[in-house]
């Protein structure tokens, strides 16, 4: 690959995830502070990303892949996103905010698939080359968190304006990315567009259990994304956005370790460890504090690598191997639909209702019983762990064994 192309693709990934990390992590804190929103409203705001995740594959499959060059669609979406993000920063009522966040996520979510498509089109060996490019997305998310935390603007409109400026930059930059023309021979069958070909995988009991568990584990996952930043700010942790980037650093480390751990532990143990890590994380949050138990908060954040990579990345590998070449893409789309779509949608609302049920309001000031809040996702993850351990039967130790 030419060095100039590698630099452009790496920059694409950096900006793609820098934009997301600029506003997503701190949105709950922003809503609590500026709109006096309740936890249900915060949860519903985060749910918009899941609604967009459900819809975006149809947009990419029906329009972007078939009629337009990917880099041009990417550029237009990010330019429109920049305008939307700026207007979001000017709002003073929650109702308008909710609708514009929905609009923005509908514009943003397709860009993730388009970014991957543009990158893969330039790679001769995606298995070797893509990780070294995609890792700049993780770097972008970390830099965004460090910047927001360093500037001390977690509850400021600047989070959205920084994201807007970055989206404007990427929108213009997209038109200078390598040309990725529309697919002339795209499969026009409705079942292919909707990813229904992958439904054949449900004939396998273990895959069906994995699919249901993927949805269920997103309920405790949603608590982390929606309320961790608000929780840490509420109990007095400084530079919260910056400290939360330790989770992405952990994710980066375990991403590199997964191929080695996978061979030794096998599918089931990796997935079980991933689920168990969510239980441990929320217990650490429940009993951690800014005083003597501050280490528990750090440990809970840094468990993100195990929580996310051991279940979701291992699950993607497992799905890829189970599906085989014929329905590989449809199967990955199905799992994305289950997790970022259905699972996170349910989880965002459930986390909002549960968090709000543990709140008290005195003199128009709302406080949350965070220990009780965090014990709830720990219990949910425990139930998922128990069911998964009983019903998931695959005990294969390597990708090659799964394929056989």
Q: Where are the domains of the chain?
A: 1-176, 192-404
Residue 183 has a pLDDT of 67
Helix (H, G, I), strand (E, B) or coil at 148: helix
Residue 149 has a pLDDT of 92
Please report, rounded to a whole number, the percentage of residues in the chain having pLDDT higher than 90. 61
Residue 384 has a pLDDT of 95
Contact 69, 180 (CB under 8 A): yes
Residue 385 has a pLDDT of 95
Rounded CA-CA distance 47/101 in Å is: 10
Rounded CA-CA distance 319/360 in Å is: 44
Residue 364 has a pLDDT of 78
Residue 170 has a pLDDT of 97
Rounded CA-CA distance 149/134 in Å is: 24
Cα-based distances in Å from 351 to 179, 269, 385: 42, 27, 19
Torsion angle of C-alpha atoms 233, 235, 236, 237, degrees rounded to 10? -60
Domains 1-176 and 192-404 share a fold: yes
Residue 337 has a pLDDT of 83
Classify 1-176 by CATH class. Answer: mainly alpha
| CATH entry 1.20.1250.20 includes domain 192-404 | yes
- What are the backbone dihedrals phi and psi of residue 364, each rounded to the nearest 5 degrees, phi first? 65, 10
Cα-based distances in Å from 107 to 94, 124, 342, 366: 20, 29, 19, 33
Rounded CA-CA distance 55/246 in Å is: 31
pTM of the model: 0.87
Residue 291 has a pLDDT of 87
For the chain, list residues with pLDDT below 50. Answer: 398-404
Q: Positive or negative, the Cα torsion across 207, 374, 28, 291?
A: negative
State pLDDT tens for residues 92-114: 999 999 999 999 999 998 888 88
């Amino acid at each position: 690959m030419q060095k100039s192309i590698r630099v452009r693709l790496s920059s694409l990934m950096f900006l793609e995830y820098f934009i997301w990390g600029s506003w997503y992590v701190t949105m709950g804190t922003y809503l609590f502070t500026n709109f006096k929103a309740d936890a249900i409203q915060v949860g519903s705001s985060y749910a918009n990303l899941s609604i967009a995740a459900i819809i975006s594959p149809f947009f990419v499959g029906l329009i972007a892949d078939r009629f337009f060059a990917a880099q041009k669609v990417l550029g237009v979406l990010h330019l429109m996103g920049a305008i939307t993000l700026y207007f979001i920063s000017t709002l003073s009522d929650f109702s308008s905010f909710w609708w514009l966040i929905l609009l923005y996520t509908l514009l943003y979510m397709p860009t993730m698939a388009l970014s991957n498509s543009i990158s893969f089109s330039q790679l001769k060996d995606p298995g070797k080359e893509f990780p070294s490019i995609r890792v700049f997305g993780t770097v972008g998310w970390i830099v965004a968190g460090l910047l927001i935390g360093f500037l001390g603007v977690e509850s400021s409109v600047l989070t959205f304006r920084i994201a807007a400026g970055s989206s404007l930059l990427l929108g213009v930059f997209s038109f200078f990315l390598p040309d990725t023309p529309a697919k002339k021979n795209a499969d026009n069958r409705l079942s292919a567009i909707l990813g229904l070909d992958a439904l054949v995988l449900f004939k396998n009991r273990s895959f069906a259990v994995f699919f249901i568990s993927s949805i269920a584990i997103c309920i405790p996952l949603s608590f982390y994304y929606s309320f961790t930043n608000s929780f840490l700010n509420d109990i007095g942790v400084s530079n919260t956005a910056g400290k939360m980037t330790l989770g992405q650093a952990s994710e980066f480390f375990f991403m590199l370790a997964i191929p080695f751990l996978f061979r030794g532990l096998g599918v089931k143990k990796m997935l079980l460890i991933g689920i168990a890590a969510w239980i441990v994380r929320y217990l650490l949050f429940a009993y951690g504090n800014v005083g003597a138990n501050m280490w528990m908060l750090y440990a809970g954040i840094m468990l993100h690598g195990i929580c996310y990579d051991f279940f979701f990345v291992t699950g993607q590998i497992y799905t890829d191997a189970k599906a085989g070449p014929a329905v590989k893409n449809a199967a990955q789309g199905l799992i994305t639909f289950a997790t970022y779509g259905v699972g996170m949608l349910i989880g965002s609302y459930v986390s909002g209702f549960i968090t709000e049920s543990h709140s008290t309001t005195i003199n128009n000031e709302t406080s949350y019983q965070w220990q009780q809040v965090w014990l709830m996702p720990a219990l949910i993850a425990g139930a998922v762990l128990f069911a998964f351990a009983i019903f998931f039967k695959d005990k294969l130790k390597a990708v090659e064994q799964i394929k056989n």
